[in-house]
């Protein structure tokens, strides 16, 4: 049997580059995980409040991970049209809340209520509404 020999040459620069690469991947993975966790918590809160109707609010989240220099910013935002109202609450004509959002005594437009009525009052969607 013959002798088997070999050699490996490693430069310090290669090791440092590899370590830097692994740290960057770890930061990226951590940022993605943080965004997922924030999203999970927010969706849980929406479900807990019973604010899931037609899924606009619960599906209205967008997450962004921004990396620049040595900073990583994770942003999770709900872009649903009524996210602000759900978050702050809305003052009615009788019950006032600590918010700048309010309903007037005119009430909501009837056409925006029709989908809710159809979904929640078991009304045939083919039925005609005259408001």
Answer whether residue 60 shows pLDDT above 80: yes
How much is the pTM? 0.53
Residue bearing the bigger pLDDT, 103 or 33: 33
Q: Where are the domains of the chain?
A: 12-88, 90-126
Residue bearing the bigger pLDDT, 42 or 4: 42
Q: Among residues of the chain, what percentage have pLDDT more than 70?
A: 73
Query: Other C-beta atoms within 10 Å of 46: how many?
Result: 20
Whole-angstrom distance, CA of residue 21 vs CA of residue 23: 5
Tell me if 76 sits within 8 A of 39, measured CB to CB: yes
| Cα angle for residues 117, 50, 59 (degrees, 5° grid) | 85
Q: What confidence score (pLDDT) does residue 54 get?
A: 63
Whole-angstrom distance, CA of residue 116 vs CA of residue 112: 8
């Amino acid at each position: 049997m013959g002798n088997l020999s070999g050699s490996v040459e490693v430069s310090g620069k290669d090791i440092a580059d590899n370590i830097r690469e692994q740290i960057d991947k770890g930061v990226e993975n951590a940022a993605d995980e943080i965004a997922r966790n924030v999203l999970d918590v927010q969706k849980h809160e929406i479900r807990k409040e019973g604010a899931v109707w037609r899924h606009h609010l619960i599906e209205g989240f967008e997450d962004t991970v921004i990396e620049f220099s040595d900073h990583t910013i994770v942003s999770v935002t709900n872009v649903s049209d009524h996210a602000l109202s759900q978050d702050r609450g809305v003052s009615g004509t009788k019950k006032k809340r600590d918010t700048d959002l309010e309903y007037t005594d005119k009430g909501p437009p009837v056409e925006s209520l029709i989908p809710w009525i159809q979904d929640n009052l078991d009304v045939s969607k083919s039925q005609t509404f005259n408001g």
